[in-house]
Amino acid sequence: MAPHTLLLAAPRGFCAGVDRAVLIVEKALEAYGPPVYVRHEIVHNTHVVASLRRRGAVFVEDETEVPSGAVVVFSAHGSPPEAFENSRRLGHVLVDATCPLVTKVHHEARRYARDGRRIVLVGHEGHQEVIGTMGQAPDAITLVETPEDVDRLGLGTDEDVAYITQTTLSMDETASVVDRLRARFPMLVQPKSDDICYATQNRQDAVKVLAERCDLVLVVGSESSSNSKRLVEVARDRGVPAHLVDDAGGIDPAWLDGVGTVGLTSGASAPEELVEGVIAWFRASGEVLVDTVMVVEEDVEFAMPSVLARRLAELRGEDPDAVAPDADDPDADDPDVDAAAQASR
């Protein structure tokens, strides 16, 4: 039997950085024609990647796999400086889809390193964003994941230490590590503004609200998406059964035994059409009431990379100089990312 109520989390799904990254690949295919190469999965969602692949995107693990002179899009997670250097050397048309919030952390890392500070990065080893961030100042950055990692740092308490964080961690996830850093390094320098991605925090806050009202929580997202898996953990931490599903086909009807209310959300890289597919699955199973639980409204937009904006303007017969600056410079000093992103939260 279908549960009698399906509560939809709001916000859910694509964040502004993911929405921008996917649109960049789509517009690059429109502007240059296929193939367009993409360094790593543009976002961590199997459906999105498969859809773009069908349209002519070619996903590679390394920019050196891309033919000279070809168009290459760098993923939303960010890349180390040597990747950009390799692409320039190979004469690629380079389109940087790095989320502006990740770019902000990169600028902080380079600034701290120039100032001679030791940098502690709070994040998950092996995550693409962490790899890209550590590449900004590899000799100055040390990665920690837990408070115990802080205790093992080979740094003196009187050293000049600053910290930065992986953007896709929530404040809840980083709080204990940052508290330990502050306790150990009294002069700890912190970022000018919070590195935590607004979308990560908002989606976790929405799941907390869902968990108070639901018997079961379903999260739409891919196994490769760390933020989607964390949404499952947030629900389970509050004593509510939760499961990650790539799409409606991943739902086990046995999960619904004895369940009256199901909460439904999606990770920041999951398209809304997959959520709609889950809703359709429930409706096909029987009568169900669908309602939305609004926790916070989001109104964030990020501009297109200038190289792509200029190309599209040329194709429309417009003056590219009136649309965007002449070039994107990933090494530019500390731009006002929030202003450039036209973000309001």
**Residue ranges of E strands in 153-200:** 161-165
**Residue 11 preceded by cis peptide, ω within 30:** yes
Contacts of 318 (CB under 8 A, 6+ apart): none
Residue 169: per-residue pLDDT: 84
Q: Is 41 a catalytic residue?
A: no
Tokens 């930065």 -> residue: 164
Is-contact 151 121, C-beta < 8 A? no
Query: pTM of the predicted model, to two decimals?
Result: 0.87
Quote the strand ranges of the chain, DSSP E: 5-10, 36-39, 57-60, 71-74, 93-96, 118-122, 141-144, 161-165, 216-220, 242-245, 261-266, 289-294
Annotated catalytic residue, options 63, 108, 129, 173: 129
CA distance 38 to 57: 7
Which band of pLDDT confidence, cut at 50, 70 and 90, is reported for residue 197? Answer: confident
pLDDT tens per residue, range 135-172: 999 999 999 999 999 999 999 888 999 999 998 888 88
Q: pLDDT for 36-48, tens place per residue?
A: 999 998 888 899 9
Using 50, 70 and 90 to split pLDDT, how confident is the model at 249?
very high
Domains in the chain, CATH or no CATH each: 5-14+198-294 (3.40.1010.20), 16-99+301-341 (3.40.50.11270), 101-184 (3.40.1010.20)
Task: Work out the angle at residue 282's Cα, subtended by the Cα atoms of residues 281 and 283, and round it to the nearest 5 degrees.
Answer: 95
